[in-house]
Amino acid sequence: MIHIKSASEIAKMRLACALTAQCMNIVETMIKPGVTTREIDKKIEDFLKVNGATPSFKGYNGYPASICASINEQVVHGIPSSRKLLSGDIIGIDLGAYLDGFHGDMARTYAVGDVLDDVQLLIDTAKDSFDAGLSNMVVGARVGDVSASIDAVIRSRGFTAVRSLCGHGIGRALHEEPEVPNFGTKGRGIRLRSGMILAVEPMVNQGTYDVYSLQDGWTIVTADGKLSAHYENTVLITDNGPQILTIA
């Protein structure tokens, strides 16, 4: 069942998503060589607590941390650790605030210090493919229109869209129907309606789209060890077009 949000639910989603975006602004200031992903995790957990919220991910299917921190060939769901960021790394941070019964969800990929131009292009492609998807998030369009437009940008840059992980509906649950794949066929899938809230999250690989899970049971890595970038926002569909809710 796809849940269409009421005005009061949308109001609460706005607050959860705004707090999520405030978290990401804090993360952005912390991305420097020498910082550990555990330090970032702690800062966000504390910030959420002070603001009357909890991390959406902690305890989700047993996930052990407040944020996901995925470095280089790690695609998503990297567990924060004592690993220090190094100049030349790229790091995907995925986080969500659970506030007053509703979840926000967003992700960004940052370059640490200086990275090569083709690495910056990978990071930019994650955002650009999201933006292409966003432009199709209008009432009456289909999920396949969103998915196909994301993949078209990724392919045009010579990269690949991860296929085994998807965007999703979001609200009282972190993951609701429908799934929003990052590849697909225009004209297929359910129609978008006003009041739907979707987390759209392209995961873009330099090489093969194949991924696998590490022994820790969480970290997803590229099969060929090449880099991956992730970009995500929570988006409300309205009669006047899409609205990104994960904005501070």
3 state DSSP class of 68: strand
| From Co ion, ligand MF3, none, interface partner of 176 (C-beta below 5 to 8 A by class) | none
CA gap 54, 46 in Å, rounded: 9
Task: For the beta carbon of residue 35, count every other beta carbon within 10 angstroms.
Answer: 16
Among 14, 77, 103, 142, interactor with ligand MF3 by CB under 6 A: 77
In the block, which residue shows the tokens 């009432």?
A: 139
x/- string (CB under 5 A) for Co ion, residues 209-248?
----------------------------------------
For the beta sheet containing 97-99, the strands, ordered from the edge strand earlier in sequence to the opposite edge, are 54-55, 97-99, 102-103
Partner that binds at residue 215, options ligand MF3, Co ion, none, CB closer than 5 to 8 Å by kind: none
Near Co ion by CB under 5 A: residue from 41, 45, 89, 105: 105
Q: Assess 68 for contact with ligand MF3 (CB under 6 A).
A: yes
CB-closest chain residue to ligand MF3: 57
Among 61, 82, 215, 240, binds ligand MF3 (CB under 6 A): 61
Indicate the Cα dihedral angle 125, 129, 130, 133, nearest 10°. Answer: 180
**Least distance in angstroms from the C-beta of 99 to ligand MF3:** 16
Closest CA to 229 of 89, 37, 131: 89
Q: Does 60 engage in binding with ligand MF3 (CB under 6 A)?
A: yes
DSSP reduced 3-state for 75: strand
Q: By the criterion CB under 6 A, which residues form the site for ligand MF3?
A: 57, 60-61, 63, 68, 77, 94, 105, 168, 199
